Amino acid sequence: MRYKNIVFIGMAGSGKSKLGMKVAEKIGYSFIDTDRYIESMEGITLDEIMKKYGNTKFKEIEEKRILEIHLCKYVISTGGSAVYSQKAMEHLKKGGIIVYLSKECDYLKRKIKNMGSREAPL
């Protein structure tokens, strides 16, 4: 395989983490979910980050943590809002191939239970 990493992007609930884990196992790569990475580095959940700091600060934290990731032979599942950071996306593109997962709106609405309480990314 010529790419160092495979990076899954898409809306929340589109299956990035589930598919990412399966692909990583199938091709012998390691797996990282950037949302879980952010939580481990910040010491609190994403919801707590949003409540404590708000959406703008969350996006700054997300960008900072993604820019810290320097991996090889990983499948990376990003949070749904990672695409709003040009710096983060350029960083991820340098290290791998980007795969966009698309799902119908009705599917996402059923999948995401707290969609109404989520703050818009922009």
- Angle, CA 5 vertex, CA 56 and CA 88 arms, to 5°: 20
Classify the phi-psi angles of 73: left when phi > 0, otherwise alpha if psi is within -120 to 50, otherwise beta.
Answer: left
- Domain assignment of residue 81, given as a range: 5-114
121 within a domain of the structure (yes/no)? no
Short-list 11, 18, 118, 14, CA closest to 75: 18
CATH number, position 31: 3.40.50.300
87: three-class secondary structure by DSSP: helix
Query: In the structure encoding, which two tokens stand for residue 107, read together?
Result: 């599917």
Number of domains present in the structure of the chain: 1
pLDDT in tens, the chain (122 residues): 456 999 999 988 888 999 999 999 999 999 999 999 999 999 999 999 999 999 999 999 999 999 999 999 999 999 999 999 999 999 999 989 999 998 666 655 665 665 444 443 43
pTM for this entry: 0.83
